[in-house]
Structure 1
Amino acid sequence: MLNHANQFDLQGKVAVVTGCSSGLGISFTEALLNNGANVVICARREKELQQMAKKLDSSGHRVIPVRADVTVQDDVERLFQEVNRIFNRLDILVNNAGMDSEGTPFAERIESNDFEMTIKVNLVGSWNCSKAAGIYMLSSGKGGSIINIASIAGLGGSKGMLSPGYSAAKAGIINLTQNLAANWSDRGVRVNCIAPGYFPSEMSTFVRNNPAVTEHVKSQIPLGRFGNPEELNGILLLLASDASSYITGQTIAVDGGFSSTVGARDPSAAVYETWAEFLDGDKGTKLQSS
C-alpha cells in the first residue's frame, strides 16, 4: 500500500529559495528544511541574508546562503554554479524574490523607472532563475519542481488597491509558469505557481497599518482574516514533493477565498481616500521584499 506521508518527504533533496532576507521566503525555507531538504537561500541584502542563515542553521538543518541579485545574470549563474559545486544536484526552485517599487495604485503617479524595476525584479528575475535551474534539471535527467510565487494581484485588475506594474509582473509570472510547464514537463521538470492573497509582509504594510483599508479587505475575504505565512507551506510542500507528480502548469490561489468573490477588487471610498491622503502627505514608500 502506498504510504502517502512519504510522498511529501524531501529528505536529501536540494532546494533554492530566492528572496530570503525577509518575508515569506523565511517561512518557505523553514518548511523545506523541516521536511528534510537542504536549502540554498539567496537575497540581495547580504547582512539580512547572513543573519537569517545563522538562525536557520541553528536548527540543525543544512542551509547555505549565497548573495545574489536575481536581475543580474552573472549573479544568477554564480548562484546555480555554487549549488552544483556543493551538492551536485538541484531538485526544487522557489522563485520568491519580489518587490513593488511603485508604491501607489494610481498609474498617473508612477515613474517609468519604478514600473520597469518592478517588472524586472518580479518577472525577469523569475525568468532568469527558472532558465538557470531548468538547464540543470533538464541536463540531470532527473527533472525537478519549479515553484513560482505570484500573487492574486496577477489574476486581474484592481481599482485603487494594487500597483499596475506589480499586477502586470505577477500576471506575467502566471503565464510564464504555463509556458515553461508546456515546454519542460515532458522532460520531468514540473512548473507551478502559488498566488498568495493578503499575508503579513513588507508589501502589505500599508494595508495592515490603515484600519479603514484593513477592514475593507477583510470584508472581501470569505474567511474574514489575513493569512498566516505557515498557511502557505502546505501547498509549497505539495508542489515541491512527489505528492504533486501529476500537477504542472497550475496557479493555486491561497487567499482565504478573496479571488472567488464578486467585487473584491473595488475599494470603498474610505480606502481610496486613505491612499490619496497617504500619498499627498508624502508618506509613500517603495515596498520590497528581498
Structure 2
Amino acid sequence: MFLEKFRMDGQVAVITGGGRGIGLACCEALAEAGAQVVIIDREQALAHSGQQALADLGYEADAHVLDVTDSGAVERAAVAIAEKYGRIDVLVANAGIARSGTAAEDTPDELWLNVNDVNYNGVFWCNRAFGRQMLKAGRGAIVNIGSMSGYIVNRPQMQTYYNASKAAVHHLTTSLAAEWADRGVRVNAVAPTYIESEMTKVVNIDPGVTDIWLRDTPMGRVGQPHEIASVVHFLACDASSLMTGTTVKADAGFTCW
C-alpha cells in the first residue's frame, strides 16, 4: 500500500529548467517513478542535453524550448502539452536564476526586474497556465522550487533581490494552495540550501565564501541535486496526498541557527 503511493505510472510531469542541475535530477526521479517527463528549458541545447541524459538512463522524455518569463508562450505550451498527452498531472516550477553580490542601495532596476521576472513572475505564469489544465481535470500537484533564502538573509553575499524573489515564491505557494485545495490541485514548495550545481559555481566567485556557508550549516556540507529531487518526488506523488501549502526546508539544518 505505502510503496505504491510513490509510483507515478501513467502521469505526465512537466519540469521547467529541466535540462540540468536540480531540474534534471527531478526529471530523473519522476521518470524512475514511472512518469512521462516533459523537459522545459529556455535553451534548446539544455533541453536536448537533458533529454539525452535521461535517454542514456533508459527513460524517454519530451523536450520543449520555453522562456518562462513569456506568459503567453507559457500558456500556449501548457495547452499544447495537455492536448498532446491528454493530461498534466505534475508541474515542477524549477526554472530560476541566481544573482548575487550587489548591495541593495546599488541594485539597478534592471537587476531587480530580471531576477524577479524569472524567479517570481515565471513561477506564477507556469503555476497559472499548468494549474488551469489541472483544475479542468480536478487533479494535479505543483511543486515550486523556492530557497532557504526566502527565510533567511544570506551572508556574506548581498542579494536582497534574490531573497525577496524566493520569499515571494513561498507565499505564492501558500496562497495558490488555499485557493485550489478544494478543487483537487495541491501546491507545495521546496526550500533548498546551497546545492552543488552550475548556479552556485556562478555565485561563489570568492573561494572563502564556501567556508562561511559551511560554517553556518549544521551538517557542514552543501547539498546535491538528487537530495532535492527526492523531496520533489515525495511532494509530487500520492505519498504526500494530505500536504498542500507547505514549503519543505531541505537545508542541511541551515535555518536552525
Q: Is the 8 A contact 2:22 2:229 kept in 1?
A: no
* Cα distance in 2, alignment partners of residues 215 and 158 from structure 1: 13
Could you tell me how far 1:99 is from its partner in structure 2? 0.8
2:181 is matched with which residue? 185
Q: Is the 8 A contact 1:71 1:125 kept in 2?
A: yes
Larger deviation, residues 51-60 vs 149-158: 51-60
Q: Is the 8 A contact 2:26 2:230 kept in 1?
A: no
Q: Is the 8 A contact 1:207 1:214 kept in 2?
A: no
1:90 counterpart letter in structure 2: I
Work out whether 1:233 is the aligned partner of 2:229. Answer: yes
TM-score by length of 2: 0.95
Matches within 5 A, 1:183-222: 183-205=179-201, 208=204, 210-222=206-218
Larger deviation, residues 120-129 vs 49-58: 49-58
Q: Is the 8 A contact 2:39 2:50 kept in 1?
A: no
Q: Is the 8 A contact 1:153 1:162 kept in 2?
A: no
Give secondary structure in 2 for the equivalent of 1:175. Answer: helix
Work out whether 1:120 is the aligned partner of 2:129. Answer: no
**Aligned positions, number:** 257
* Cα distance in 2, alignment partners of residues 260 and 61 from structure 1: 38
Q: Is the 8 A contact 1:104 1:110 kept in 2?
A: no
Could you tell me how far 1:162 is from its partner in structure 2? 4.3
* Cα distance in 1, alignment partners of residues 81 and 106 from structure 2: 41
2:162 is matched with which residue? 166
TM-score by length of 1: 0.85
1:84 is matched with which residue? 82
Could you tell me how far 1:165 is from its partner in structure 2? 0.9
Larger deviation, residues 147-156 vs 49-58: 49-58
Work out whether 1:148 is the aligned partner of 2:144. Answer: yes
2:118 counterpart letter in structure 1: V
Shift in CA distance, 171/31, structure 1 to aligned 2, threshold 3 Å: same
2:42 is matched with which residue? 44
Could you tell me how far 1:247 is from its partner in structure 2? 0.5
Percent pairwise identity: 37
Could you tell me how far 1:37 is from its partner in structure 2? 0.4
Runs of 4+ in 1 over 6 A off after TM superposition: none
* Cα distance in 2, alignment partners of residues 231 and 131 from structure 1: 27
1:65 is matched with which residue? 63
2:9 is matched with which residue? 11
2:127 to 115, 127, 130: 130
Could you tell me how far 1:216 is from its partner in structure 2? 1.4
* Cα distance in 2, alignment partners of residues 146 and 89 from structure 1: 14
Shift in CA distance, 125/78, structure 1 to aligned 2, threshold 3 Å: same
* Cα distance in 1, alignment partners of residues 208 and 117 from structure 2: 32
Q: Could you tell me which runs of 5 or more consecutive residues in structure 2 were left unpaired when the two chains were aligned.
A: none
Work out whether 1:74 is the aligned partner of 2:72. Answer: yes
Q: Could you tell me which runs of 5 or more consecutive residues in structure 1 were left unpaired when the two chains were aligned.
A: 262-290
1:244 to 222, 240, 243: 240
Q: Is the 8 A contact 1:106 1:160 kept in 2?
A: no
* Cα distance in 2, alignment partners of residues 234 and 243 from structure 1: 12
2:104 counterpart letter in structure 1: A
Q: Is the 8 A contact 2:100 2:162 kept in 1?
A: no
2:122 counterpart letter in structure 1: G
Could you tell me how far 1:171 is from its partner in structure 2? 0.4
What is the RMSD computed on CA atoms of the aligned residues? 1.5
1:275 is matched with which residue? none
Could you tell me how far 1:23 is from its partner in structure 2? 1.9
1:138 counterpart letter in structure 2: L
1:286 is matched with which residue? none
1:30 to 28, 31, 34: 28
